[in-house]
Structure 1
Amino acid sequence: MAEQAHRVVASYKPSKFDKKILLWTGRFKTEEEIPLRIPPEMLDKARNKARVKACYIMIGLSIIACFAVIASAKKAAARHESLMSLNLAKKAKWRKEAALAAEAKTK
């Protein structure tokens, strides 16, 4: 008897964001199909599925970014650009500006 009293089905009212997750994960086709109250387990499963999808998207974007960096580095190497040469040019410019500023102070 006491065991049956604790078997109350919990329900959860989904927010707009929860509804978007339920739609994105394919649990429901349209927003109108989503009931006013859903079991928390359904939302947990949808959130986990959305988390996995988001991770796959980030992995794909990271791989694309890696290839973009490789292509950019190859182009820079073809132009004989390197970080060392860029830093040396920047420091030479700063030295020249400092010399001009010192010269202007002495006048």
Structure 2
Amino acid sequence: MGSLRGLRQAAGSYFRLYERGASSSLRLSRNSDLKRINGYCAKPQESPKAPPYTYSHRVPLHKPTHWERKILVWSGRFKKEDEIPETVSFEMLDAAKNKIRVKVSYAMIALTVAGCIWMVIEGKKAVKRNESLTKLNLEKKARLREAAALKAKTE
């Protein structure tokens, strides 16, 4: 058991030394062929056009639709639709949409509270008129029975 552990440690240290030596003498260049560097500072060859896989640090832009322009104005990002540039960033558009979502949710909360208050007021008026759902349902069923009886007599 002890000899296996020693063998593993020796193999591990050997590979670490090998990797350290290999990484200093061999480097992977941009066009992925191996290049030998002998301790000198070597400049990588630059290609005339940038490779397609590199990421430019520019923010991708989007041409807003008519509806998105309205959202940008409603969110308060711009005063008028004329002030909106030809292209805007996706982040700006997302921020405006999120602001509108929050405003719509606040409006829905306010409408729900107003509807609840209105139902309470209507319920209190119904109590004053001595109306209840049970009474209204019984009257409706009585009318339906009378209508069914009249229909049965006429047939």
Task: Write the letter of the residue equivalent to 1:88.
Answer: L
1:81 positional shift: 0.7
Gaps of 5+ in 2: 1-49
Aligned-residue sequence identity (percent) comes to 47
> For each residue in 1:36-88, what CA deviation from the matched residue of structure 2 results, as whole angstroms up to 9, or x when unmatched?
00010000000000000000011001111111111111101111111110110
Indicate yes or no: 2:97 matched with 1:47.
yes
Following superposition of structure 1 onto structure 2, how do residues 76-95 of structure 1 map, counting pairs within 5 Å? 76-95=126-145
Q: What is the SS of the residue equivalent to 1:59?
A: helix
Unpaired runs of at least 5, structure 1: none
Question: Hey, what's the Cα distance between the residues in 2 that align with 1:67 and 1:46?
Answer: 32
Which aligned runs of 4 or more in structure 1 are off by greater than 4 angstroms?
none
Q: Larger relative CO (CA 8 A, sep 6+): 1 or 2?
A: 1
Aligned pairs, number = 103
Q: CA RMSD in A?
A: 1.5
Counterpart mapping for 1:18-97 below 5 A: 18-97=68-147
Bigger proportion of residues as strand = 2
Distance 1:104 1:47 in 2: 63
Normalised by the size of structure 2, how large is the TM-score?
0.63
Give me the TM-score of the superposition, normalised by structure 1: 0.89
More helix, by proportion: 1
SS, match of residue 14 in structure 1 = coil
Match of 2:153 among 97, 103, 107: 103
Which is greater in Rg? 2
